[in-house]
Amino acid sequence: VMAPYLGLYLDSKGFSLLEISQLLSLLMITKVLAPLLWGALSDRFSNNVFLVRFGTLMTLVCYSGFFFANTFQAYALVIVLFSFFWNAVLPQIEVVTLFNLGSKKELYGRIRLWGSVGFIFSVMGFGIVFDIWGIAYFPISLLCVIALIFVSSLVHFEEPKRTQSHDEASHGFMVYLKRRDIQQFFIVCFLLQVSHGAYYTYFSIYMESLGYSTAQVGVLWSLGVIAEVLLFIYMHRWFGLHSIRLIMAISLLLTAFRWVVTGLLAEYWMVIVIVQCIHAFSFGAMHATAIKFVHQRFKLRHQGRAQALYSSLGFGAGGAAGAYFSGVVVSEYGYYWTFIISGLVALAAVFFVYSLRFKTSHFS
């Protein structure tokens, strides 16, 4: 709900395009620090499940400040506080999920797709609500969603167990980060999210400026996630047949094509419907590949920080840079060039993929 409609809500409050990009970049900046801090805590105290529950509760509490904010500074403070806890929770959920799957890691995609199903129904449903009653109902809608997430976190999960001391684990973790394949992998993740900056920040506003209704915008977001769901269902088969490098290269090439077409031909409904389906590769294939890469390359005692680092460098640093610079470009040159440049960034990531030298060709 947040990605499609927060920009529209801030736009309705009278903020400029540059101010909106600055506020949304704060969501990404907290993804840099929060996951790393909580990842270190989880690896030291082996308390991933507790951190998930505490983090979702604090997200709910801090988000309530949205109902009292009325200035740029107030919105900035609320966004920083609630996103600090929310962004810290996500990598811990990945760790808990993969641990509880045990030897059935190939089922990760099928579990992940339920999050996509929830996104589809919420985005389409709230799109209709906002079309009828207005975007002013965005804050209460998201509050209800966060409350339901907290309640669901109270379900019993087995806590991941570790056997090594914190000092030993810290030393071993730094050794991993010196490996060339891991460094290049994180560069690819960073560039991918930079290319997504314009999409997450301005896509909804861009579509409404072309005459699409809020409900139609919700449908466009949902179409991408529906395609993502279909990919997740069959992803485990694809993993076994193709190399990491090939999956990434194909996904990034399609992503570059998606952004360029969005910039050039967004006024044509059927064209934008088709390219939205590429989200299955832009996010679905790339995220599933990254999660499994990190899970396989790092040992259990490093999983908290490893998943946190992926979130921080990719969704955090990359997302923040993408959101901020897309705001600068769109203010000066408009949506057209913003999405063209996004496509070029995704294309640059393809070059880094082909320079990768992974030690393992296929996922097991």
Whole-angstrom Cα distance, residue 24 to residue 91?
20
Q: Which pLDDT belongs to residue 361?
A: 44
State yes or no: pLDDT of 360 exceeds 50: no
Q: State the Cα–Cα distance between residues 263 and 81, nearest whole angstrom.
A: 33
Nearest to 82 by CA among 99, 65, 96, 97: 65
pLDDT in tens, 23-71: 999 988 888 888 888 877 777 767 778 888 999 999 999 999 999 999 9
Distance of CA 363 to the CA centre of its chain: 22
The crossing angle, in degrees rounded to 10, of helices 180-195 and 303-310 is: 40
Q: Which residue has the tokens 């993804």?
A: 31
Give backbone dihedrals phi and psi of 151, rounded to 5 degrees, phi first: -60, -40
CA distances from 110 to 8, 48, 114, 221, 305 (A): 31, 22, 7, 20, 24
Distance CA 313, CA 318 (A): 6
Predicted confidence band at 256 (pLDDT cuts at 50, 70, 90)?
Answer: very high
CB neighbour list of residue 204: distance below 8 Å, 6 or more residues apart: 4, 5, 7, 8, 217, 221
> What CA–CA distance (Å, rounded) separates 57 from 63?
10
Q: In the predicted model, what is the mean pLDDT of residues 306-321?
A: 88
Residue-range domain boundaries for the chain: 2-153+165-355
Q: Does residue 150 register a pLDDT over 70?
A: yes
Residue type, 351: F
**Coil, strand or helix: which one is 163?**
coil
Give mean pLDDT, residues 235-247: 76
Report the pLDDT averaged over residues 238-248: 78
pLDDT digit string, tens, across residues 325-340: 999 999 999 999 999 9
Q: What is the reported pLDDT for 362?
A: 47
* 359 Rama class: left (phi>0) / alpha (psi -120 to 50) / beta: alpha
pLDDT exceeds cutoff 70 at 163: no
pLDDT score recorded for residue 160: 67
| Residue 239 pLDDT greater than 70, yes or no | no
Q: What is the pTM of this model?
A: 0.80
pLDDT in tens, 105-115: 667 767 777 88
Q: Look at residue 297 in the predicted model and tell me its pLDDT.
A: 78
Q: How far apart are CA 171 and CA 165, in angstroms?
A: 10
Give the number of other Cβ atoms within 10 Å of residue 254's Cβ: 18
Query: Which residue would you say has higher pLDDT here, 200 or 296?
Result: 200
Q: How far apart are CA 259 and CA 255, in angstroms?
A: 6
Tell me the C-alpha distance between 48 and 43, whole Å: 8
Question: What does pLDDT average to over the chain?
Answer: 87
* Backbone phi and psi for residue 291, each to the nearest 5 degrees, phi listed first: -60, -45
Closest by alpha carbon to 259, among 322, 301, 184? 322
pLDDT tier at 209 (50, 70, 90 boundaries)? very high
C-alpha–C-alpha distance, residues 208 and 98, integer Å: 39
| pLDDT at site 353 | 87
CATH 1.20.1250.20 assigned to domain 2-153+165-355? The reply is yes
Highest mean pLDDT among 164-168, 253-257, 281-285: 253-257
